[in-house]
Structure 1
Amino acid sequence: MAPRRTRASAAAELQVESGQQVSSPPPEPAAKRQPLKKAPAKVKNETKVEVSKKPLPTRKRKAPAPKEESPVFGDELPHNLGSLPTPDTDDVDEAKEASPPKKARRVAKAKQIADVKPEIKDEATSADVKTDGKPKKKATKAKSHKLTPGETPYPDYAHPTSEECYEVERILAKKHGKVTAPKSIPMPSLEVTGCGEVPSVLDALIRTRLSAATTGKNSSNAFKGLVKTFGTLKEGVGKGSVDWNKVRLASQTDVFEAIKSGGLANNKSKDIKAILDMVYEENQARYAALKKEKETKTEADGPAGSENEPAQEKNTEIQRVESGVLSLDHLHLLSNEDAFARMVQFPGIGPKTASCVLLFCLQRPSFAVDTHVFRLCQYLGWVPKETQKGQPPVNRETTFAHCEARVPDDLKYPLHQLLIKHGKECPRCRAATSTSSERWEEGCPIEHLVSRYGAKKGEVSPAGKAAPKTKRAAATKKGKGKKKVDSDSEEAESSDLSDVEGDDDYE
């Protein structure tokens, strides 16, 4: 019987006839085989053999051909942006007009921004004041302290009463000596700056500005520097004081060098220069108005306060301007409120400085509040410890406004002086003292009237226990922190600081 013929045996017979090994796998059907391209022959000297550019069939997507940048010919820009701007005109308007719509919007926006920048630059330049050939920023615009003279920010707080004020004045006068306001203003000292105790209002204002945030010794050294550099007036109301018009005409650098021993010389020199420029402009305006009033013989044409000014003083004011002497003495003609409002418009002049000039130079009742007065007003309970909703927080500015309305006028001068003296000398009311201080046991004459803030000052909590110390105070006790004034103190200032330090707080 013949063996059965299968497909596998038939295929094996065919492979034997064609010379293939029987063990080789059967070839794929011809219909399914992909045509292969012959590989280029390798040459020993690695000469290139041209290959057909016809792409091989593949299922992969063709990679996009790389974009070639169009070369720039002549003045033509790439990407159809138009022509290059000519160097002599820097005009790019034609190039922008040729931009595609989307790019044109971006270019238009960029042009709009570019058009605004020069205006801002010009505006800033116009606000600059050239000093010694170098541009200098003009003083900042006068600030508003939002104080209404005669009105307290805490109308529901009934302290201090007149009785409380008279009691404190009586006790402190017994301890430190009786204080009364002088009947006349002394001639200006060239050794001590002071806080405005001079006849000239302008002189008083700048002296008080020099006294801010520094010791009396430093401010006096700064004033001596101005005297040495610019000289003094030999006649007139400002006789014996600095020639402020020479200071105005000098550079800020010269003013800085003259007062650099006084501290904060950079800020103070800028403020002094700006104040003197403002006073000069004001003097010129008043001069023109007084001349017009004199010609028309109509008081309505005169400057502010001229209705209260005698004819002789008007002539003196005119002569002073013609002589090149700067002056603010016309503030004598204004009310307390108007004079105060005018002074706080000057750069670097806060409520405290303006109040000092009112008190010491213009001889008006005003309760100036420095750091010592502020601290004692808090201890005495003359300002609220906690304010009601909608009321401003308690600070030196609000303390001034509140006490200005409540302290009797006849006590404003003596209480100001006595509180400063007591705040500097009392072993318990000074800023840098505590229950562990060496002189604490000496006591305080107003101990029964004060309630000091902070555990270091002996404050007791409502529960009857000592108030908890702050983390900073604890760190100091352990020697891990720097020596710090008691946590209740509003600032760590030396008791030797000038009476009017700190108007820089309002800048």
Structure 2
Amino acid sequence: MHDDVRAQAPEVIPAPSLEVAGCGEVPSVLDALIRTVLSGATTFENADKMIKGLTKKFGVLTEGIGEGSIDWNNVRTSPIEDLVGAIRCGGLGNAKAKSIKGILDMVYQENIERREAYLREKQTGEQADVFAAADKTKGQKDLEILKTDKNILSLDHIHGLPADEAMRQFTKYPGVGVKTSACVILFCLQRPCFAVDTHVNKFSKWLGWAPEKATEDDVFSHLEVRCPDHLKYGLHQLFIRHGQTCEKCRRSTAEGTDSWRKLEECPLESLLNRYDKRQSKAKPKPPKKAKGEKPEAEPDVKKEEQEDGADTTGAKNGPAEDGMEAGDQVEEGSEAKEDDDIKKEGEA
């Protein structure tokens, strides 16, 4: 049914797009992390608008190391108001700007510390006492020094780490939780990782792979161990595509609706228990009212339709956006409750 969806990650990660945010399938680890943060709790259209806004405001590295990436050091050194203005079009501008600024400041300090440690190593011959230094070659260390000298922020020293160690490194940054980290590990580091977005979460429960009341992080913790590594990339992509397009599996449909009846049978029908899509969720007929009495407002079964567009895959030249739950989507320009919303990823 979805034979155009990749079963395995591409051998070569594509160059970063300046029009599509994606969800981490870019060469630069820092670029991948911030793109994934931007893609959280919004639609792919809004995330794309943020990337365009950042490109226009802060520019792109056009040559040498880091070519093609947004100039994140320029973002770091600019007033936060400029960053908010560049990404406000996608919603949660204030909150995401705070997280991004916090990430970039931490990365800058780490890069300085790593550079100084490597320079001391050159002078004394004693191994640098920074994270993963023992696993780096002389050439890799020299490259880190060169990037810092050129004011190019980088997390590329995380390349090559096991998934569990990379997870610990990513989740120390503000606004970065398990979901965001798993996407970067899967799509940028190309390490097997069971990234759980909204669609992956619902199918895991409908298939009986995880308890109905499990949180997304619980689902991740369980299936990261139970799911075979060679299936993690493809299942993530397939669940998202199927969750967006199958009329019986989209969140906006329920038993008894017109959309439900359009599809005779879902290919997964015999395997799924859609316990939360029963008849009770379908749009009921309004009860008859006495003459002159105003009818009650009918429930809107399309309320959840926006969720199905929040997570996307190959059609937008990149993997799925960090999944959002129904009701998390923020309309353009809305900054309501931003400081609370951004905590969802960090507290995870």
How big is the shift at 1:179? Answer: 2.7
Alignment-derived partner of residue 175 in structure 2:
348
Alignment-derived partner of residue 399 in structure 1:
219
Q: How does 1:262-411 map to 2 (within 5 A)?
A: 262-299=90-127, 301-385=128-212, 394-411=214-231
Alignment-derived partner of residue 334 in structure 2:
none
Alignment-derived partner of residue 270 in structure 2:
448
Q: Is the 8 A contact 2:8 2:230 kept in 1?
A: no
Letter in 2 for 1:496: G
Give 2:67's match in structure 1, choosing from 218, 230, 239.
239
Distance of 1:427 and 1:188 partners within structure 2: 33
How big is the shift at 1:177? Answer: 4.7
Alignment-derived partner of residue 78 in structure 2:
250
Distance of 2:307 and 2:286 partners within structure 1: 21
Cα distance change on mapping 1:453 and 1:237 into 2, 3 Å = farther
Distance of 2:285 and 2:116 partners within structure 1: 63
Q: 1:480 and 2:296 equivalent?
A: yes
Q: Give the secondary-structure state (helix, strand or coil) at the position aligned to 1:439.
A: helix
Alignment-derived partner of residue 322 in structure 2:
500
Cα distance change on mapping 1:477 and 1:242 into 2, 3 Å = farther
Letter in 2 for 1:369: V
Letter in 2 for 1:418: L
Q: 1:261 and 2:89 equivalent?
A: yes
Task: Give the root-mean-square deviation of aligned CA atoms.
Answer: 2.3
Give 1:225's match in structure 2, choosing from 30, 50, 53.
53
Distance of 1:287 and 1:492 partners within structure 2: 49
State the aligned residue count. Answer: 311
TM-score scaled by structure 2?
Answer: 0.83
Cα distance change on mapping 1:484 and 1:296 into 2, 3 Å = farther
Cα distance change on mapping 1:309 and 1:482 into 2, 3 Å = farther
Q: Percent identity?
A: 45
How big is the shift at 1:360? Answer: 0.6
Q: 1:202 and 2:20 equivalent?
A: no
Q: Is the 8 A contact 1:380 1:449 kept in 2?
A: yes
Unaligned runs of 5+ in 1: 1-171, 386-392, 459-468
How big is the shift at 1:437? Answer: 2.4
Alignment-derived partner of residue 56 in structure 1:
none
How big is the shift at 1:306? Answer: 1.6
Distance of 1:432 and 1:281 partners within structure 2: 45
Distance of 1:493 and 1:264 partners within structure 2: 17
Cα distance change on mapping 1:501 and 1:477 into 2, 3 Å = farther
Distance of 1:411 and 1:477 partners within structure 2: 46
Cα distance change on mapping 1:321 and 1:177 into 2, 3 Å = closer
Distance of 2:48 and 2:65 partners within structure 1: 21
Letter in 2 for 1:480: E
Unaligned runs of 5+ in 2: 288-294, 312-320, 325-340
Cα distance change on mapping 1:484 and 1:376 into 2, 3 Å = farther
Cα distance change on mapping 1:477 and 1:402 into 2, 3 Å = farther
Q: 1:181 and 2:27 equivalent?
A: no
Distance of 2:125 and 2:162 partners within structure 1: 24
How big is the shift at 1:295? Answer: 1.5
Alignment-derived partner of residue 240 in structure 2:
420
How big is the shift at 1:374? Answer: 0.6
Distance of 2:285 and 2:168 partners within structure 1: 44
CA shift digits 1:315-344 (9 cap, x unpaired): 110011111111010111432211111111
Cα distance change on mapping 1:372 and 1:477 into 2, 3 Å = farther
Cα distance change on mapping 1:475 and 1:448 into 2, 3 Å = closer
CA shift digits 1:401-437 (9 cap, x unpaired): 1111110000000000000000111111111101222
CA shift digits 1:472-502 (9 cap, x unpaired): x78885563563559xx9x775211133134
